[in-house]
Amino acid sequence: MKRILKRSKLFPIYLVAFLATLVLFLLFPQNLSAHAILVRSDPARDSTLAASPPQIHMEFSENLNPEFTTAYVVNAATNATNAEKDTKTHVDQGNAHVSSTDPKEMDLSLKPKLPSAVYVVLYRTQSADDGHILHGSFVFTVAAPNGAVPTYKGSTQANTGVEGSSSNQFDGPTLWSLVMITLVDLTAIFWAGGQLWSIFVFPFIETTDEEQQTINRQTEQRFNNRFALPVLCLFLLANIGVLIGQTLGVTDGQLIPALNPALLAGLVTQGHFGTYWIAREVLCIAAIALIVADMLAKGRARGLTLLLPWIQFVLALFLLAAVTLSGHAAATSNDIIIYAVLIDFLHLTAAALWIGGMIYISIVYLPVLKRYPVLSRTRSLLSVLSHYSPLAFVGVGIMAITGPLNATTRMSGLDQLLSTTYGRTLIVKVLLVGALLITSALHVLLLRPHLKRSLKEYDRSTNTVQIDIPLNDGVSELKQKPVVDSKQKMLERSIGQRTWTLSNVLRWEPALGVLVLVCTGLLTVFSGTLQPVTPPASASQVAAQPTKIPAKPFVTTVKTKDQKFQVKLSVDPNHFGTNTFTATILDKDGKVVPDSQVGVSLYTTMLDMDMGTDAVNLQPDGKGHFSA
């Protein structure tokens, strides 16, 4: 009860620290995004047109950064690896630009009179809020004058596979982005997990055992002296690596151009991505400066000793918040964006509680424990794990809730689980989390209870004898010495084996956690494969898109200016190209006028091309009809 009361006293402080992290959310309440995904286009994806369109209009899910967003169009037959640089193959006018009235829209003019062919629109977008690069493509077809629709059997995908690619490719730049994103998450989670141990585990281990107190102190010193500074430095470098991963997306994977200072500076200064990327760096540098100052100080006051872990803990929460805001915290609608970001932050904090805590046990605590005798290791394990388990359970619970919520904010349907790379990666992540839960249940429900029973049985069976130990001046002291018999030796061997098994499970369990974080990185890399459900087009939009070729002849009846005759005109097949015009002349009574009495001439003007007006004399067929 006393321990519970002490924890409850600390809860308001933890709540204040948690609420402090919300400052980052409240400072920038504008819309956040992760990937600018194509929502709608004109011409529509895979549409067939009767005539060449004058321009390409695209609408995306998020605001676009004009500096790094572009598009071009090529004939599918000439699409090649270097098509973007080989502007001679482009059929557009090279004027792709983000709309000045709507930053989610991009327009691109086409060259006039494009011949019948399959055309590929290739685009690169960068979210104006978090800097994520997305490459994608779609095709449309221009039919021949006779109505024939050309086909193309080759690849029409964008020849890129960088971070955020919608083409599912996995190449060097994609691997680079994956490694950097995973390192950022891993280092942030591990360092935050270390702060959680300093605040919520060791201070609550109430023991008079000097050996356990020494183990706790050595564990904290090992983390602070060997891991805290290197981990933060690795985070600093990995964060720079994330920025380079973005520029690799702009330079199509070319490293030297990607390191251009002007290009890097452009990304940092554009939108919320740059803001939160700088926030990451500033928070990390502040934490490093705090650690270095503490190392250089020969001694510090007790008040500072108590305050320093809390300062680092608050910095850790702010760092997790900055990682959330500059990650792909939901390409969601504006209505739920704040909820999606908060869910992602809670998910990351839960990962620090669970996965970060497991890593701390594996590479910080267990190596310290290895120096002590078997029974000391066993007692320490049972004591320390009993205090860590409540934190781990909280982390598991939060992840169990926020994980599905994250998926629902990013996926539009269950079919995407199998039809997209993002969905398949999510399935693997769920399986890994399931394996992690089974492994944790193994030592929580099986190994630790058995070990605890064996240790109790060993303590009950321990017999002692009094030994008279002589001191100075003829004075002696009686002390208790345990007597070890064969039963105790057998129990000690059993305890040693169970302790070894439990230690090995704890040592390798974090490997599953690291794989979960790798899957998280893959979800970021391949989130561009989640194409949103396109909203139904309005009637005006449907009418504006010439996606269908009329199959029926055009028939109309008109009167001459003097009202003496009616002309029944038929145009067949009534599409772009060659047509047959047929005219029948009727008098006021509706009778056919002999072709010997009248003649018919048509004056045609092509609306799509400025070719002037042509005169066509229709020829009589001797039956009262005229045609040409």
Where does the pLDDT of residue 243 fall: very low under 50, low under 70, confident under 90, or very high at 90 and above? confident
Q: Which residue has the higher pLDDT, 364 or 82?
A: 364
Where does the pLDDT of residue 287 fall: very low under 50, low under 70, confident under 90, or very high at 90 and above? very high
Q: How many CB atoms lie within 10 A of CB 89?
A: 17
The candidate with the shortest Cα–Cα distance to 331, out of 342, 341, 319, 343, is 341
- Calculate mean pLDDT across residues 479-501: 76
Cβ atoms of residues 138 and 122 within 8 Å: no
Q: What is the per-residue pLDDT for 533?
A: 40
Distance CA 163, CA 527 (A): 9
Q: CA separation (Å) from 25 to 17, 28, 345?
A: 14, 6, 10
Q: DSSP labels for 457-472? A: HHHHT-EEEEEEEE-G
* 462: pLDDT strictly greater than 80: no
Q: What is the per-residue pLDDT for 2?
A: 42
Q: Which residue has the tokens 């090529």?
A: 74
Q: DSSP labels for 493-507? A: HHHHHHHHHHHHHHH
Greatest extent of the chain over all pairs of C-alpha atoms, in Å: 155
Q: What is the per-residue pLDDT for 544?
A: 36
List of residues 6+ apart from 5 with CB closer than 8 A = none
Distance CA 73, CA 79 (A): 9
Cβ atoms of residues 187 and 232 within 8 Å: yes
User: How, if at all, do strands 105-109 and 97-98 pair?
Assistant: antiparallel
Distance CA 169, CA 167 (A): 6
Q: What angle do CA 140, 142, 143 make, to 5 degrees?
A: 130
Which of left, alpha, beta for 131 (phi over 0: left; psi -120 to 50: alpha)? left
Q: Which residue has the higher pLDDT, 535 or 107?
A: 107
Which tens digit of pLDDT belongs to each residue from 558-580?
787 777 788 888 887 776 556 77
Q: Which residue has the higher pLDDT, 84 or 514?
A: 514
Cβ atoms of residues 125 and 97 within 8 Å: no
Q: Which residue has the higher pLDDT, 449 or 490?
A: 449
* 152: pLDDT strictly greater than 80: no
Q: What is the per-residue pLDDT for 27?
A: 44
Mean pLDDT of the chain: 77
- Residue 414: what are its φ and ψ, rounded to 5°? -65, -25
- Calculate mean pLDDT across residues 45-57: 89
Distance CA 332, CA 411 (A): 9
Distance CA 90, CA 73 (A): 6
Which tens digit of pLDDT belongs to each residue from 537-551?
333 333 333 344 444
Cβ atoms of residues 526 and 423 within 8 Å: no
The residue type of 210 is E
Cβ atoms of residues 74 and 91 within 8 Å: yes
- The reported pTM is 0.67
Q: Which of 25-39, 180-194, 494-508 has the lowest mean pLDDT?
A: 25-39
Indicate the CATH number for domain 38-159. Answer: 2.60.40.1220
> Cis omega (within 30 of 0) on the bond before 43?
yes
